[in-house]
Every structure is written in C-alpha cells, then in structure tokens.
Amino acid sequence: MALDESLQAILDKWGSEDHLYDFLHSEMESLSCVVFGKEVSLPDIQVKPNWLARGIMGEHPTAGGDYEPEDNEFPAQIGLFPSVLLDERMIQIVIAHELIHHWEYMVHNDCSELNYPAEIDEVIDRTLKTPKRTSRWRSGHSARFISKATVVARKLDLPLLDMLFRG
C-alpha cells in the first residue's frame, strides 16, 4: 500500500535509483564543504524504510534521516527515509543535519563555534513541548550541534528549525 506508492512516486521523480543516489552523493559532497570547510571522508548514504523513522516508541515522527558513526569495520552511514526524497530542499536539510552529527564525531578540537543565540533554546523548548521530549532530543543534540546547525543554516539560507528537527 503506502510503501509501494511512495516508492513509485520516488522512482517517477528521479527516473532511477542510480539518478537518485547520484544526486544524494553530490549534495552530500557540496554540503560537507559547508559543514567541514575542507575535504573529509564522507559517510555512506542509504535510503531506509520509513518505519525506521518512527522509532520503537514513535517518539520521532518527523525524522527524515539518521546517522550511525563508524563502528569497527562498518563505515559511518547516513540513512534517509523515503518521506523526504520527493523534495530537493528537504533532502538538503536532512543531509546537512546528519553531516553535523558526522562533524561532531570527526572533529573534536574545534571550540570556536560554541555559541548560539539564547532565544534558540526557548524555541527548542517550545517546539518540543514537554520536558521529556526535550531532554530526549537534547541527549542526541548537544550545544555544539546546535551552534554548528545555526551557522550552517545561515550559510545555506535554510530554515534552522527544520535543520534541527527534521534530521
């Protein structure tokens, strides 16, 4: 049902899986220049089933992707959910979000961007609504992540809230 329909719509848009992956790789490359400011080894990128996006408790219903750091023989990986693959701008936003996770794992000594406007904390609390959801989100998104997202969103002229919460 819904799965087949959404996959068919994605194929209709991109023509083939190869074209889609070409686009994803070239977007990741240009976005990584903005996030890292230099060439780095990039994660694998892969389309994942939508049901993974909801998580076991259904706590993350708007997620467009996820990130797994390198683990022994497994390379770092960005997963994208089909729900974002019909919209180039949403793809950009989600890849940028996941690349910031990659940056956090790869770059440890850059303390120059540990500031962001205080009102962003208020917006985050307001958006997530409950202390439980807020603390769960914050456990995966540090102040350093938020600072970097603020800079990247400004450079790319993308909406910060989407960049924070759609990844």
Site size toward Zn ion (CB under 5 A) is: 1
Output the smallest distance, CB 27 to Zn ion, in A.
17
Q: Per CB under 5 A, does 79 bind Zn ion? A: no
82 vs 167, beta carbon nearer Zn ion: 167
Backbone conformation region of residue 11, classed left if phi is above 0, alpha if psi is from -120 to 50, else beta: alpha
Which residues from 128-167 bind Zn ion, rule CB under 5 A? 167
The whole-angstrom separation of Cα 121 and Cα 148 is 14
Q: Per CB under 5 A, does 65 bind Zn ion? A: no
Q: Per CB under 5 A, does 64 bind Zn ion? A: no
Output the smallest distance, CB 127 to Zn ion, in A.
14
Task: Tokens for 35, please give them.
Answer: 């996030």
Q: Which residue number places its CB atom closest to Zn ion?
A: 167
With a CB cutoff of 8 Å and minimum separation 6, the contacts of 142 are: 104
Output the smallest distance, CB 4 to Zn ion, in A.
28
43 vs 167, beta carbon nearer Zn ion: 167
DSSP code, position 23:
H
The whole-angstrom separation of Cα 148 and Cα 108 is 13
Query: Hey, which bits of the chain come out as E strands?
Result: 44-47, 65-68, 77-80
Residues at the site binding Zn ion, with contacts judged by CB under 5 A: 167
